[in-house]
Amino acid sequence: MMFSMLVCYGNIWDRSITPLSSQLPPLTNDSSIIPQLASILARREIQKGKYHPKAEVLMKWVGALDEDATWENEWRFFKSYPHFHP
């Protein structure tokens, strides 16, 4: 669904501004935005105490800068995003 945005410049209404996207991001049942994955930047193994090493992946999210990428548990990530294939 497309919509037009009206912007007032003094007394003139400008209808030439269009939105970047006509789609809203996916939402949970409580209307929270579900983060959208852009890419996996890196993978690492971490040791937490005396337990076996855990794998983590560095996730770049849609609309975020590279420096805002986050380390996520690899197993939990692929359980949450089963259709993502790196």
Burial of residue 21, with CB atoms counted within 10 A of its CB: 0-12 exposed, 13-18 middle, 19 or more buried = exposed
In the chain, where are the structural domains located?
Answer: 33-86
Residue 41, helix vs strand vs coil = strand
Q: How far apart are CA 50 and CA 73, in angstroms?
A: 18
Number of other residues whose CB lies within 10 A of the CB of residue 1: 5
Q: How far apart are CA 25 and CA 77, in angstroms?
A: 19
- The share of the chain scoring above pLDDT 70, in percent, equals 73
Read off the pLDDT of residues 4-38 as tens digits, 9 standing for 90 and up: 444 555 555 556 666 666 677 778 888 887 778 88
For residue 22 the two structure tokens come to 């006509």
Q: How far apart are CA 40 and CA 71, in angstroms?
A: 10
Q: Quickly name the fold that domain 33-86 has.
A: OB fold (Dihydrolipoamide Acetyltransferase, E2P) (2.40.50)
pLDDT of residue 57: 95
